Amino acid sequence: MQSIKRECSRTLSALRSASKKYRLGWVIEPNYAGLPSDPKPDKVVLSEAEQIATIKYCLADTKTPELSACVVLMMQSGAMVSEIGRMDWDETKKDLLADVPQICIGKGGKTKDRHRVIPIVFGQDFLLAHLEGAIALCESRTDSNLSHRVKKLLVAATDNQALTAHCLRHTVRANGDLVSANPSHVAAICGWANSNRPISKSMMNYGREALSRAEGFRAVRDTSIKMHQHIVDAIDRS
């Protein structure tokens, strides 16, 4: 489609120029209806081996642990750096210490669906130690700067030059697809619109302890463990 549009653009420009010069009054609008659209590029995701390598790299990071804490959170929540920068550390610390470790993401954001509470199924101690610094880091830098730094970390951990920060969000969905996870649970984790989401807006106001006891939230936690079992097992073995 794009190549056809490029080919037609010069001809259209010449016809419009002639119409204007000779006052012909032509109204020329191209009609591309029925032409095949360009195929959407495949979304790049991290393989299971790359996910494990990335998390191990992050958990061992002593030079930039705040950046690594961003990746540990992003890998299991689909969070974006802008969402991390809006988090409140005092409340987040309490959430991480709840009966079911959790984190509130997207509060105060533009998209209501992305306001969610996600279960933390790996890296809890690392996040307790470094997420405060990660929040400050995301708050003080531009999204593009942080995304570039996350990309560099991913490349260093995996040697895959194609990976970007947004690949982490695609990877969460891919992990769900690979284990045939409940789509409403994946939507609850990543903040995608879904009418059957098991964690309602009213449930998010229950508080961390009540939410820890809620059947719907525990079901989402179990799904997240299933989605990330390869990472959980790799951490346990190391």
pLDDT, the chain, mean: 86
Write the pLDDT tens digit of every residue in 60-86: 999 999 999 999 999 999 998 999 999
Write the pLDDT tens digit of every residue in 107-121: 655 555 578 889 999
Residue of 188 and 153 predicted with greater confidence: 153
Residue of 16 and 44 predicted with greater confidence: 44
CA dihedral 127, 218, 77, 230 (to 10 degrees): 80
Domains of the chain: 1-40 (no CATH), 48-237 (1.10.443)
Q: pLDDT band for 203, please (50, 70, 90 cuts).
A: low
Q: What percent of the chain has pLDDT over 90?
A: 60
Residue of 213 and 208 predicted with greater confidence: 213
Model confidence, pTM? 0.78
pLDDT of residue 111: 54
